[in-house]
Structure 1
Amino acid sequence: MRKHPLRWLEITTYGSDNSAAGAIAGITRAAPGSLIARFYGPAGAFETRTTKTDMGTTVHARYIGGPL
């Protein structure tokens, strides 16, 4: 994502809203204890959006800037 800033990319589809919310917290806030956070630091460098599907909640993310 850092090579293509501002381009939305699909992360994955989660079966529950709670799972999607946990991933979003890890991506946007670098939430402590989140395994996904280490790939999306520093906090605030990425933003997310979600879409509902028949399979659950799909999370998309994009790099919006920040220290490398």
Structure 2
Amino acid sequence: MGRRGRGRVLTRHADKAQWMRDHRFAWLEIATYPAAYSAATATHGIRGGAPSNKIARYYGPAGAFETRTETTDQGTTVHARYIGGPVT
């Protein structure tokens, strides 16, 4: 296999964001990323702080979601939950 697609995590962010909106304050596992920097990029996008991040569009407005990460044998697992409007 070439470099393209290797280690790529495919996640249906639109479905996960909608589930969290329907289940406010409930934590949901988003994905496990093999590289910590990929998990950091995802958490930044979910919190809405990265307009150039491709997944940020599903998790607006900025501050409406919280994230946490967990280190596992497979990499870094990202969890998120919907908390409502922007955090002030």
Report the residue type matching 1:47 in the other structure: E
Structure 1, unmatched stretches of 5+, are none
The structural deviation recorded for 1:33 is: 1.1
Q: CA deviation digits over 1:2-47, x for unaligned, max 9? A: 1100000000000111000000110113412111101100000000
Structure 2, unmatched stretches of 5+, are 1-19
Higher relative contact order (CA 8 A, sep 6+): 1
Among residues 41, 44, 55, which one is paired with 2:74 in the alignment? 55
Task: Give the length in aligned residue pairs.
Answer: 67
**TM-score, with structure 2 as normaliser:** 0.72
- The 5 A counterparts of 1:1-68 are 1-66=20-85
Which structure has the larger Rg? 2
Identity of aligned residues (%): 67
RMSD of the alignment, in Å? Answer: 1.2
Residue 26 of structure 2 aligns to a residue in which SS? coil
